[in-house]
Amino acid sequence: MHTSFLNPKIPSIQMTGLTVGAHDDPTAPVLVEVNWMVGTGEYWVLGGMEASGKTDLLATAAGLTKPIQGQYRLFDQEGPAFGDQFMAERLRIGLVFDGGQLFHRLTVLENIVLPLRYHGERAGGDLAGKIAAVLELTELSEKADFLAGTLGRAWQKRVGLARALVLQPEILLLDNALGGLDSRHCQWWLDVLDQLSEGHPFMSGRPTTLVVTAEDLRPWKNRTVHLAILQKGRLAVLGRHAQMAEISDPHVRELLAEQPYAAA
């Protein structure tokens, strides 16, 4: 059993003085002086407008992009670990890309089982049962044989979620999870994320550490989440949604889709 699960006081993610590079150009700074800690089992929502660095930060957290400088500890170990010898640690993180980033010529089922094809020996247990369970969790059972490219955006995002969940990661990073979804699909995602945060049966009842990015913080009103924003190349921790009424920053008010306070 992993150390971070045995001791929830050990942070899952800890960034100190981190400079985050762009995912498509790791030498170009996007965020600077990132000081951020995500405790095991915590649920975070990071707000930011387009091109604020949300995707770049998640790519760094997932070990896809090496930080330019600073310290990143993953499960209380120096990281991110980019070498093959650290693959086991990286597989404890699941990443859901905006739009799913699927292989459109493969079926829904074939997309979902890709991680098992490469890392199935680490999954253990009844693989067929896991696949059936994750299809049921994401309500994709009836679409399993559809080509991924024939699905609408909302369902493609669910396939991306199922693919990330099939290895039962301890941390789940979700880029723009609610982007482009109608109210019905948004509500489905919010409910499922709540269940994962609390300990979904598919995850053996273990609370999943969640980090979600968003351009609109309103959907998380009255939900038990930690909030932070990305603006002007910095990450600022805000607190809980109930505390947002005390913040006059126009950028925060915009993410809450509320009018900025008038200048005194």
Residue range of the domain that includes 71: 3-92+169-255
14 has which bridge partners?
Answer: 37, 73
**Rounded to 5 degrees, what are φ and ψ at 203?**
-95, 20
Choose between 241 and 206: higher pLDDT.
206
17: CB partners within 8 A, 6+ apart: 33, 34, 35, 69, 70, 71
Domain assignment present for 101: no
237 has which bridge partners?
Answer: 228
Rounded to two decimals, the pTM is 0.88
5: CB partners within 8 A, 6+ apart: 40, 170, 206
* CATH number where 18 lies: 3.40.50.300
Domain assignment present for 125: no
| Whether the Cβ atoms of residue 237 and residue 36 lie closer than 8 Å to each other | yes
Predicted local distance difference test score (pLDDT) of residue 85:
61
What pLDDT digit, counting tens, does each position of 87-132 carry?
A: 777 789 999 999 889 999 999 999 999 998 877 656 556 789 999 9
Choose between 139 and 249: higher pLDDT.
139
Choose between 259 and 214: higher pLDDT.
214
Domain assignment present for 42: yes
Angstrom CA distances, 225 to 2, 67, 98, 194, 237, stand at 24, 26, 20, 10, 12
Predicted local distance difference test score (pLDDT) of residue 225:
95
| Whether the Cβ atoms of residue 20 and residue 57 lie closer than 8 Å to each other | yes
123: CB partners within 8 A, 6+ apart: 116, 130, 166, 167, 168
**CA 80 to CA 157: how far, in whole Å?**
26
Tell me which of 75-89, 128-142, 159-173 is least confident: 75-89
> Exposure pattern of 99-117 as b/e (b: 16+ CB <10 Å)?
ebebeeebbbbbbbbebbe
**Does residue 246 register a pLDDT over 80?**
no
Domain assignment present for 110: no
Instruction: Please state the domain count of the chain.
Output: 1
Predicted local distance difference test score (pLDDT) of residue 184:
97
Q: How confident is the model at residue 257 (pLDDT cuts 50, 70, 90)?
A: low
Domain assignment present for 13: yes
Give the position of tokens 């409910």. 191
Percent share of the chain, pLDDT over 90: 69
Tell me which of 4-8, 16-20, 78-82 is least confident: 4-8
Percent share of the chain, pLDDT over 70: 81
What pLDDT digit, counting tens, does each position of 14-37 carry?
A: 999 999 999 889 999 999 999 999
Choose between 226 and 119: higher pLDDT.
226
**Does residue 256 register a pLDDT over 90?**
no
Q: Which two tokens stand for residue 153?
A: 């955006």
- Best CA proximity match to 31, nearest among 48, 13, 14, 43: 48
Helix (H, G, I), strand (E, B) or coil at 256: coil
Residue 139 is classified by DSSP as T
Domain assignment present for 221: yes
204: CB partners within 8 A, 6+ apart: 168
Domain assignment present for 140: no
What pLDDT digit, counting tens, does each position of 38-47 carry?
A: 999 999 999 9
Domain assignment present for 59: yes
